[in-house]
Amino acid sequence: KRTQVCSVSNSCFNLCFQLNLKGEQMNMAKISESGKKQRKNWTAMWAVLTADQLLFSKDKPEHGLKAGGRTDVVELSGALMEWTTEKSSRKNVFQITTSKGSQYLIQDDCQSTASRWFHAIKKAASSSTEDRSEFPLRRSNSTDLSPRHNMFGSAKLKHSTSDSSDKNRVKNRLKKFITRRPSMKTLQEKGFIKDRVFGCNLSTLCEREGTTVPKFVQTCIRAVEKRGLQADGIYRVSGNLATIQKLRFIVDQEEELDLDHSQWEDIHVITGALKMFFRELPEPLFPSRFFQRFVEAIKIQEPQQKVQAVKKLIEQMPKPNQDTMKVLFSHLHRVLAFSRRNLMSTQGVSIVFGPTLMWHEQDAANMAVNMAFQNQIVEFILIESHQIFDLKGK
């Protein structure tokens, strides 16, 4: 046994000698202490590799590390080594994970230096792990470590058994919850789940509200016509997305909405929310099944026949779609009446609302062609809105 121990010690000595016991300066960051994350802080440290440890010191070691100096000790027995590009934007970074869960990042700008240290440390860690398994009493002052080893072994076994029972307990509770869970209708009746406004089917929403035009649409249009008709780029300019989402949340929670409040003073937030409402309809305002028929109608050359064809298609739609469309296009027609102030043309409005109000669900391959038709259809309805919707000079 003494011969074996000496042989191992000699091999470890040779390893340290090959790497230069005085060490080299490397960049080191400790990112985890026994599994607990720490803030990454790169520090230039002098590194020294021994038989089973990697030592880091602030001071250059002339004759070994100074006693009492700041030293970080990385235990290599059972440690794992790997190159990493995810933990740092620096190049040539490798990570050491100790058996106790501590993690260190080591880096050097020179690729060959980093690679040399990586392989040397990996070899030392591997040798140290093998040595400890062969000679468990080699570096201990204690006469017998086997009870302690068994204690940890049994603790791991108990921990594993405990984890298994906890998982089974959680699974059983989930099964009971799923089998006993109340229906959606019950949750809605008790107020746990509220009906949404955004993303709700148009007919369902109108039926729930007892209208044929969603209240949110009417509220937004009133606010825009009250203080936004002359706003530069109305409907084209985007509002703050975070504020729009906040407005959406309030609407979906059925909280009281006052668009005259100062938090909604940016009119582009209101127009942005209105456009979002139409974009998130499960089925567009112009139902998808009508898309191809509108394309055929818009291709008609004779103007009056084209108007009648489009009008006839709109009249075939569900009542909420017809009435909401009429209210919206009447509003957009009033927006265009202030085009000299808001700088929005018929073509500009149609470009904004074409993809918002209609889309073809099953023909994504011809997206560019469909978009051109979307814009043409909306532009035509805007121009002929008086005839199509019988606005009578409104």
Q: Tell me: the pLDDT tens digits for 224-233?
A: 999 999 999 9
Average pLDDT over residues 169-188: 70
Answer yes or no: is pLDDT of 349 > 80.
Answer: yes
Average pLDDT over residues 150-154: 46
What band does 142 get if pLDDT is binned at 50, 70 and 90? Answer: very low
> Among 137-151, 197-211, 284-298, whose mean pLDDT is lowest?
137-151
Contact 328, 217 (CB under 8 A): yes
Helix (H) and strand (E) counts for the chain? Answer: 15, 8
Residues 229, 213: Cα–Cα separation, whole Å: 21
> Among 24-38, 124-138, 247-261, 269-283, whose mean pLDDT is lowest?
124-138
Answer yes or no: is pLDDT of 200 > 50.
Answer: yes
Answer yes or no: is pLDDT of 308 > 80.
Answer: yes
For residue 278, which amino acid is it? F
Average pLDDT over residues 255-273: 92
232: number of CA atoms within 13 Å, CB side? Answer: 0
Indicate the fold that domain 24-61+69-127 takes in CATH.
PH-domain like (2.30.29)
> Taking all residues of the chain, what is their mean pLDDT, rounded to a whole number?
81
Q: What is the pTM of this model?
A: 0.53
Of residues 151 and 180, more confidence is placed in 180
pLDDT of residue 146: 45
Indicate the fold that domain 202-389 takes in CATH.
Phosphatidylinositol 3-kinase; Chain A (1.10.555)
Residue the block writes with tokens 């109108």: 206
What band does 192 get if pLDDT is binned at 50, 70 and 90? Answer: low
Residues 184, 193: Cα–Cα separation, whole Å: 8
pLDDT of residue 236: 94
> Among 67-76, 135-144, 191-200, 355-364, whose mean pLDDT is lowest?
135-144
Average pLDDT over residues 246-274: 92
Distances (CA, A) of 210 to 204, 213, 247, 320: 10, 9, 22, 11
pLDDT of residue 84: 86
Residue 264 DSSP class: G
For residue 155, which amino acid is it? A
Residues 131, 153: Cα–Cα separation, whole Å: 19
How many of the other CB atoms lie within 10 Å of CB of 53? 15
Of residues 221 and 85, more confidence is placed in 221
231 closest CA partner among 278, 276, 270, 275: 270
Answer yes or no: is pLDDT of 177 > 50.
Answer: yes
Contact 326, 354 (CB under 8 A): no
pLDDT digits (tens, 9 = 90+) for 266-307: 999 999 999 999 999 999 999 999 999 999 999 999 999 999
Domain ranges of the chain: 24-61+69-127, 202-389
For residue 351, which amino acid is it? I
